[in-house]
Amino acid sequence: MNLFSLFRNFFRKGERSSQIAKSRLEIMLKHDRAELTRSEMMEMMDRILMVLRDYVSYDRNRVEMKVKREKGETFLFISVPVIGKPSSRSLER
Amino acid sequence: MGEVYVITSGKGGVGKTTVTANLGIGLALRGSRVVTIDADIGLRNLDVVLGLENRVVFNIVDVVEGNCRLEQALVRDKRVENLFLLPAAQTRTKEAVSPEQMIEVCSKLREVFDYVLIDSPAGIEAGFRNAAIGADKGIVVTTPEVSAVRDADRIIGLLEAMGKGTPQLIINRLRADMVERGDMLGVRDVLDILAIPLLGIVPEDEEVIVATNKGEPVILRENSEASKAFKNIVARLEGEDIPLLEFSPKKDAGFLGKLFKLFGGR
Listed by start position, the domains of chain B span: 3-262
A9 within some domain = no
For residue A53, the enclosing domain spans 38-85
A22 within some domain = no
A53 within some domain = yes
What residues in A contact B161, CB-CB < 8 Å? 72
A14 within some domain = no
Q: Quote the distance between the C-alpha of residue B127 and its chain's center.
A: 16
Confidence of residue A89 (pLDDT cuts 50, 70, 90): low
> Rounded CA gap, B72 and B202, in Å?
34
Instruction: Say which amino acid occupies B69.
Output: R
Confidence of residue B102 (pLDDT cuts 50, 70, 90): very high
Indicate the average pLDDT of chain B. 92
Nearest chain A residue to B261, by CA: A1
b/e burial code for range B12-32 (CB count within 10 A of at least 16 → b): eebbbbbbbbbbbbbbbbbeb
Name the percent of chain B lying above pLDDT 90: 87
The pLDDT value recorded for residue A71 is: 77
B246 pLDDT higher than 80:
no
User: Greater confidence, A90 or B166?
Assistant: B166
Which one of B153, B194, B262 would you mutate to disrupt binding with A, by most A Cβ within 10 Å of its Cβ?
Answer: B153
The pLDDT value recorded for residue B256 is: 55
What residues in B contact A33, CB-CB < 8 Å? 153, 157
Spatial CB neighbours of A17, under 8 Å, sequence gap ≥ 6: B182, B183
Please give the average per-residue pLDDT across A61-78, as a whole number.
89
B248 pLDDT higher than 60:
no
**Number of domains forming the structure of chain A:** 1
Please give the average per-residue pLDDT across A38-61, as a whole number.
94
CB B46 within 8 A of CB B33: no
Chain A contact residues (CB < 8 Å to B)? 1, 5, 8-9, 16-19, 21-22, 24-26, 28-29, 32-33, 68-69, 71-72, 74
Nearest chain A residue to B193, by CA: A26
- Flag if A68 and B195 touch (Cβ within 8 Å): yes
A74 within some domain = yes
A70 within some domain = yes
Which one of A33, A69, A73, A75 would you mutate to disrupt binding with B, by most B Cβ within 10 Å of its Cβ?
Answer: A69
Indicate the average pLDDT of chain A. 84
Q: pLDDT digit string (tens) for A26-39?
A: 999 999 999 999 99
Confidence of residue B245 (pLDDT cuts 50, 70, 90): low
CB B228 within 8 A of CB B248: yes
A16 within some domain = no
B68 CA: distance to closest CA in chain A (Å): 38
User: Which of A65-74, B141-150, B198-207, B257-266 is least confident?
Assistant: B257-266
Please give the average per-residue pLDDT across B186-199, as a whole number.
96
CA distances from B47 to B27, B30, B36, B89, B217 (A): 17, 21, 10, 11, 11
> Rounded CA gap, B109 and B119, in Å?
15
A71 within some domain = yes
Spatial CB neighbours of B151, under 8 Å, sequence gap ≥ 6: B9, B10, B11, B142
User: Greater confidence, B248 or B114?
Assistant: B114
Q: What's the CATH fold of domain B3-262?
A: Rossmann fold (3.40.50)
> Rounded CA gap, B250 and A50, in Å?
58
Spatial CB neighbours of B263, under 8 Å, sequence gap ≥ 6: B186, B187, B188, B244, B245
Confidence of residue B225 (pLDDT cuts 50, 70, 90): very high
